[in-house]
A and B are shown apart, each in its own frame.
Chain A
Amino acid sequence: MSHAAAHYTSTGLDSRKIAFWTFIGSECLLFGALISTYLVYQGRSLSGPTTHEILNIPLTSVSTFVLLMSSLAMVLALAAVTRGDTLWSRVWILSTAGLGLVFLSFQVYEFTTFVHEGLTLQVNLFGSTFFVLTGTHGAHVAVGVLWLLTLFVMSLRGKLGPEKALTVEIAGLYWHFVDVVWIVIFTVVYLLQ
């Protein structure tokens, strides 16, 4: 079997896609545990800043919109790669990575502001659960940005033609999963205070 060959299973489905969906399933359990922990300890902080005092809803709404639009850019990148449109596949892949970086910039700004206002990982239960949950999500976004930049470099080297559409689709699955996790976090952490 050649190096670039697809790996079909007895189901007729590509093994890489099955494996990646399984990974996403395991990620559901990870984020489920983190979100549950946040909710269990919500409102139980004895000192330090709490949700009402510190969360910036307008700012986070903008960053949520940015992440949603990055998902649109990602599916447009997949559509462009599938039809063999090199220029637009590069534009949309780079746009997705750029929007991811904008989201991360918002998060860095938010974390920095919170630390200056006295909320750290150690100060109270809200700080611990908030930073672990949103920080883990941010780390996932950072990995996604690196993955997208790798795809962009592959495209520049002429190695991201229509025959590699599944490679882009799997990267897209990861990116959209990170997006849906944020949809839940935005509601549970920021809006349901």
Chain B
Amino acid sequence: MTDTPMAEHDTHDESSHPGVGTYLTVAGVLTIITLVEVGVFYVPAFAGVLAPILLSLSGIKFALVVMFYMHLKTDHRLFTAIFTIPLMIAVGVGIALLFLFGVIAIGGGS
């Protein structure tokens, strides 16, 4: 087997990665969102809409880490597909199970 020029060392395309400033900004946003999550949890006025608020905030945190810290925002789209497809299957199966076991019901609450 012959070596290709690309294969002479453990190459790593860091040029597409965000800078330290972006990493610090994302960390700040993650911290703020976590504080908001805990704050919302303790405020009785949000009790009725707690689930959608917390799930939305959690989704934003999830997306920030995956996009910026795991570099999916700038990396090759194949990596996004390899990650997203099983993730969607897992979420779909989870939601199906919640319906199947009556945890959530169509046209009504739990």
Residues of A at under 8 Å CB distance from B? 1-2, 4-8, 11, 13-14, 17-18, 21-22, 24-26, 28-29, 31-33, 35-36, 39-40, 42, 57-58, 61, 64-65, 68-69, 71-72, 74-76, 78-79, 82, 162-167, 169, 172-173, 176-177, 179-180, 183-184, 186-188, 191-192
Residues of B at under 8 Å CB distance from A? 1-4, 6-12, 14, 17, 19-20, 23-24, 26-27, 30-31, 34, 37-38, 41, 50-51, 54-55, 57-58, 61-62, 65-66, 69-71, 76, 78-79, 82-83, 85-87, 89-91, 93-94, 97-98, 101, 103
Q: Which residue from chain B places its CB closest to the CB of A72 in the assembled complex?
A: B27
The 16 sampled A-B contact pairs (Cβ below 8 Å) are A1-B1, A2-B8, A6-B7, A6-B10, A6-B11, A8-B6, A17-B79, A21-B82, A39-B98, A64-B34, A71-B27, A74-B69, A79-B20, A180-B61, A186-B37, A187-B55
A36-B94, A39-B103, A192-B51 given as contacts; is B23 within 8 A of A72 (CB)? yes
Q: How far is the CA of A18 from the CA of B26 in the complex (A)?
A: 25
Residue of B3, B38, B82 touching A5 (CB-CB under 8 A) = B3
Main secondary structure of the interface of B (DSSP, over half): helix
The number of inter-chain residue pairs (CB within 8 angstroms) is 160
Q: How far is the CA of A18 from the CA of B75 in the complex (A)?
A: 12
B90 touches A6 (CB 8 A): no
A187 touches B70 (CB 8 A): no
